[in-house]
Amino acid sequence: MQLESTQARLLAVAAEHLRRLGLARLRVVGVAEEVGVTHANVYRYYPSKIALADAVIAQWLKSIEVGLLETLGAPDPADDKLERMLNLIARGYRAKLEQDPRLFDVFAEATEKDRVVARRHRTRVRELLERVIEEGVANRIFSTAERPRAIAFVFDAAYRFIHPVAIRLDRNAPPQSLTQRREAVLSALIRALVSMRIHA
């Protein structure tokens, strides 16, 4: 219990320091002092400053993954669920960029450098999107002929709105314009998949 309490406090304090200082100025000693432990104690849980920062990011990414899983389990048809899931990712990332830009920068850097936290999240997102596509195939909403390429098509078409580096490049774009563009692209993406529907 003490272990969980200490880790939770470390992550909360580290998140606040990251928000104020960014990754470059984050100091493990400063986090340890505020939590009331030695910096050596911090390294028992997280072997480096990067590992500590990535653990903060993993907490946030978990909330997105939970939302995707809940959407996947909804009773809606697969095409509706796929669009909602892609919007959930896009909105979640964009909101983080706007509200916690330094935390988002850690995520974008982790993605660029293919760190474990980004790789695990990408794998989980891909798995959940594949499952909704498989559901659409099984229910004859999406074409079986497109099954091997469907997930690649989804990621390619939605790239600008669901890839953290692309989202960061659009940091200064007007939010309303981005929303309109995203909705148009995702709507076209879903129509493209559905237009290849198998007719019974």
79-111, pLDDT tens digit by residue?
999 999 999 999 999 999 999 999 999 999 999
Helix, strand and coil content of the chain, in percent to the nearest 5, comes to: 80, 0, 20
Question: Which CATH number is associated with domain 53-194?
Answer: 1.10.357.10
Instruction: Report whether pLDDT(62) > 70.
Output: yes
Question: Which CATH number is associated with domain 1-47?
Answer: 1.10.10.60
The CATH 1.10.10.60 portion of the chain extends over 1-47
Nearest residue to 130 (alpha-carbon basis) of 77, 199, 78, 89: 78
The CATH 1.10.357.10 portion of the chain extends over 53-194
Instruction: Report whether pLDDT(143) > 80.
Output: no
Q: Using one digit for the tens of pLDDT, what is the confidence trace for 66-85? A: 999 999 999 999 999 999 99
Region 129-137 average pLDDT: 92
C-beta of residue 111 within 8 angstroms of C-beta of residue 164: yes
